[in-house]
Amino acid sequence: DARSVLPNACASSIVISLNLRELIHFVNLRLCTRAQLEIRQLAKKMCEEILKREPWLKSHLVPKCERLGYCDEDNSCKRMPLKSEVLRTEVSNG
C-alpha cells in the first residue's frame, strides 16, 4: 500500500510458482473485493491467461464467497450473505 501513495509509485517484480491447488486458493482469496486492488488485478490477469488454455478451471477461479455460497469475511462487501445468515436459515429450515 505504501508504494501506491508515493509520487511516482514504485514498480515491483513478482515471481510466483504455484501448483493447481495453491493457484485456486490464491485466486479464491485475491479476487475478493476486500483484497488489495493491485493484487486483485494481478489475480484477474492470471485467471484470464490460464482460462485461455484451461477453460475447465473457470468454476474454480472465482472469489471464495462465490465458491462457498456465503461470505466468511469480518468486513463483508455484501455480495453474498454472511455465513451466520446462511447457517441461521439452514437451522430454521432444518
The catalytic residue among 30, 34, 40, 88 is: 30
Give the pLDDT confidence score for residue 4 in this predicted structure.
64
Residue 29 grid coordinates: 482469496
Whole-model pTM: value is 0.75
Give the pLDDT confidence score for residue 40 in this predicted structure.
93
pLDDT beneath 50: ranges in the chain: none
Residues with Cβ within 8 Å of 23's Cβ and at least 6 positions away in sequence, in order, are: 46, 50, 61
Give the pLDDT confidence score for residue 12 in this predicted structure.
73
Give the pLDDT confidence score for residue 44 in this predicted structure.
96
User: Is residue 3 flagged as an active site residue?
Assistant: no
Percent of the chain with pLDDT over 90: 44
Give the pLDDT confidence score for residue 22 in this predicted structure.
97
Strand, coil or helix: what is 71? Answer: strand
Residues with Cβ within 8 Å of 21's Cβ and at least 6 positions away in sequence, in order, are: none
